[in-house]
Every structure is written in C-alpha cells, then in structure tokens.
Amino acid sequence: MKNTNTIILAFTGKGGVGKTSLSAACVRLLSETYPDRKILAIDADPAVGLATALGTDAAVTVDDIRKSFVIEAEKGNTGAAVELLGEAKYRLFDAVAEKGNVSFIAIGRPEGSGCYCKVNAYLKEIISMIAGNYDFVVIDGEAGIEQVNRRVMEKVTHLILVSDASIKGLQVIKTIYSVAKEMMMFDRAGIIINRIPDMSLAGSFDTGTVELLSLIPDDRKMVMNDVRGDDIYSLPESSPLFSGAKTALMKLGLIQGE
C-alpha cells in the first residue's frame, strides 16, 4: 500500500559544501528516530558519495538500467527495448540496497551524448512510484542547478539549500531557490550554512526570505570521519554536523527535540 504522505527532502547547493554528509546525517536521524518507518536514500550525484557515507553499496544504478534498453533501442531492436521498459520497475527494485530500515538507490552518471528524454521521464515516474512505498525519502542532489528541473528533483516536500560561509555559496543557493520556485513543486524550503570557520560570523549571513534552518561550524570530527572512510553511523552525536542536521530537522518539524 502506497504512502500518500511521503516526506521527500532534497539537498542541493554548490559542490563541496557538505550536502552528502548532511543528507547522510538526516537519513541516520530519521532511521533512528523512527525505527518502524521506512526511509529511502537516493543518491542523485554521479560521484555516488552517499553510498560510502551510509556504509552501503550501489552495485546497480538507475542509469545502468536505462542504458540497457537505450542500447537495444540504438540497435533498432525496439521490441526488446519495449520489453525492457516494461521490466524496468522490477529491475529498479532489484537495484535497491537495504540496511535496516534504510533503502538506498543511486541514479548514476549524468546523460551522455544524445537525448533519451522519454526514457528518463519514464524512469522518473518509476522512482516516484518507489518513493510512495516509503515514509521518508532523502535525495542527495548533484552540485549546481541542473537537477532542479530534471530527473528526481522535480517534486519534493522539503527543499534543503546547503551553503558554506562563502558569498559564492550563498549566491548559488539563492539562484537555485529562484529557479526552483519556477521549475519545482515543494511545500517548504530552508537553508543550512555549513563549515563556518568563525561562529562570530553567524549573524552576518543574508538568506533573504528563505528560512534559516541551521548554522554549523567547521567540524573536525566529520573531517576525521571522512579521512578514515567511516560511515555516518560512526560519527559521534556530539559532532557539530550531526547536531546541526538535528536542529534543521527539528525546525522543519520532522523530529522532536529532547
């Protein structure tokens, strides 16, 4: 039975601001807060960094499935391509890796040469159908603005804009937000400012009319977690990044404070 009240959080922003770490921290927080709920983590970044952050594996990606019937279509084998399209939903379930109450799937590499818009639209619909089987969906978006109007980044409940303390980072999320208002459907948007080198700057950030969800200082514990290649479940709860992600989810009303 599909969940018509699925909460979908999409993390976006420029590269290098900590979207993947924050996405993973939110997946952990949701899975630990609601052990009886089902969480789907979608890695929409070609680097597939969310898999490492969650300590899981992406043996097959959505793009691998897409390519299998694109190859048949290019060969002129339209019958086989149509058959593969019909099987895509089931193959997509096979690509989902599970760990406790968290499921994971990776979108894979971005488009190559040529355009298969109809195929991608079909897969987008399948992902939407899969999302309806979960209580929470967390999407780790590709850096920049492209995914705002393609693939999985078109209909979410919560748009999470992540920046570092730089002017450039804040400009990027303001641009993304401006485009998102035209190209996406979302119920609520908010900003997380991560990797702040000096917290005396906390009151100086201009977020415009977008809600500020959390201010997170540079996190040595997160840095060392990454250096060791540890997953997000190894990060202590005292970590500033983990605490900041918790603050953001509390402000959004998705988890309760202690």
pLDDT reported for residue 62: 78
d(CA 116, CA 134): 28
pLDDT reported for residue 83: 65
Where is 38: in which H helix or E strand? Answer: none
* Annotation: CATH topology of 7-251: Rossmann fold (3.40.50)
Low-confidence ranges of the chain (pLDDT < 50): 114-116, 119, 149, 151-152
pTM for the model: 0.88
Q: Are the beta carbons of 3 and 133 closer than 8 angstroms?
A: yes
Where is 106: in which H helix or E strand? Answer: strand 102-106
pLDDT reported for residue 200: 92
pLDDT reported for residue 107: 79
Ranges of each domain in the chain = 7-251
Alpha-carbon separation of residue 239 from 7, 40, 54, 233 (angstroms): 25, 24, 16, 12
pLDDT in tens, 160-181: 999 999 999 999 999 999 988 8
| Strand duo 97-99 + 136-140: pairing | unpaired
